[in-house]
Structure 1
Amino acid sequence: MTRPWTVRLAAGLVAATAVLTGCSEKQEANETLPTNGAAETTPELPPLGPEDFPVPAEAREMTPEGAVAFVRYYVGLTKFVAENSLDPEPLLQLSQDCRTCIRIAQSLDEDRAANRRYTEYAYEFTGYGPAMLDGETAQMGFLYVQGPITVVDQAGKVVTDRSAPTPVELQSGAVLLWKPEQATWVITGLTVG
């Protein structure tokens, strides 16, 4: 008479041998990664801003960090427009009813019309933490250090009333509105200093 544990042991050894033999056989590696069935795609955002200085994707997110990234971009766009003597229209397109934004755009347009050039345009931007969101609006504070900025006329002479030879710290803030149809923020209020 065979003992039941001997039969179970023999059956277990046969099963283990079969498993181990199967693992030791050579098999081709799968060259593709498994998919979850449907391909996930991120819709591409339509470009905004100048072709050489577009609004970055992180600045087009309806998040506190996205609002900060947008204001950082907008401040950088001002420098880009100034240094390249460009039409300031992108500053207006990315704002809505913002009096400060309009004044900045008008000032840059006056410099361009008078053939003034920015030969130096330094600034620093430091956000005071994430923006505060309330529905489709956001508010944030930031430190803007302006300067040195040097503007010269056609003859290369420094235009003193447009230049800032030493850096100036300006406590600043921005109010933004989310535009879902464009997937972007726009500035509705800007305080510099």
Structure 2
Amino acid sequence: MLAVLALAVAGCSEPEQPSTSLPTAVSTSAEPTLEALGPADFPVPPEAREQTEAGAMTMATYYLDLIDHTKNEVGTPALDAEPLRALSADCDVCGQIAASFENGQSLGYRYSGTELDEPDFGTLTVSGSSADVPFTVQQSALTVTGPDGAEVRSTPAVLLRGGMVFEWDSTRQAWVATQLNLVQDT
């Protein structure tokens, strides 16, 4: 036993060269994980979860895309308009849009068209925890058909002018829509 211990100590007695690099820092606490927001197949982008002007703009783009995403789901069993509500607070128009999709789903409607082109955003105004985002967006022609395939309604392409107001939700670490205004340009 003494011989083994002596060999171990002897092996350690040779001079070592100093390290040329510093050890890397080890994190002692895990990074906080954010609650997932949005549909599983279309989650809120990380940039929209930053309390910055860029974060508010990313959320504005995402919310308009989410409306398109939800509309495309109408007529399929997977439709879920809840993310539109979950990413809004006391937003009447947001709730009306979600209710319209759910009503269309319950009636077996299918939507074709109504895609929103890339929005043209005006000057973003951030004041404290509130962001006001003006925009215009072209919506393509819409056709709604019933479960029997008969046309229920159709509308031509329109230019929509509007704006969104977002409030920063520090609990969810995300911008939440509190107001959405849309006016058809004539």
Corresponding residue of 1:55: 44
* Matched ranges for 1:61-76 at <5 A: 61-76=50-65
**Residues 178 and 110 of structure 1: is their aligned pair in 2 closer, same or farther, counting only changes over 3 Å?**
same
Q: TM-score, normalized by length of structure 1?
A: 0.74
Q: How far 1:115 sits from its partner (Å)?
A: 0.4
Can you list the C-alpha shifts for 1:111-160, whole angstroms capped at 9, x where unaligned?
Answer: 0010001133321212114x211111111101121122222111112221
Question: Is the 8 Å Cα contact of residues 62 and 178 (structure 1) preserved in structure 2?
Answer: yes
Q: How many residues align?
A: 158
* Matched ranges for 1:17-56 at <5 A: 37-39=25-27, 43-56=32-45
**Secondary structure class of the residue paired with 1:139:** strand
Distance 2:142 2:36 in 1: 29
Distance 1:111 1:134 in 2: 37
Corresponding residue of 1:192: 182
**Residues 41 and 143 of structure 1: is their aligned pair in 2 closer, same or farther, counting only changes over 3 Å?**
farther
**Secondary structure class of the residue paired with 2:141:** strand
Which of the pair has more CA radius of gyration?
A: 1
Q: Write 1 or 2 for the structure with the bigger share of helix.
A: 1
Distance 2:114 2:34 in 1: 30
* Matched ranges for 1:41-120 at <5 A: 43-85=32-74, 86-120=79-113
Q: TM-score, normalized by length of structure 2?
A: 0.77
Structure 2: where are the runs of 5+ without partners?
1-19
Identity of aligned residues (%): 34
Distance 1:41 1:127 in 2: 37
- Give the CA RMSD over aligned residues: 2.1
Distance 2:52 2:30 in 1: 21
Letter in 1 for 2:152: V
Distance 1:79 1:46 in 2: 23
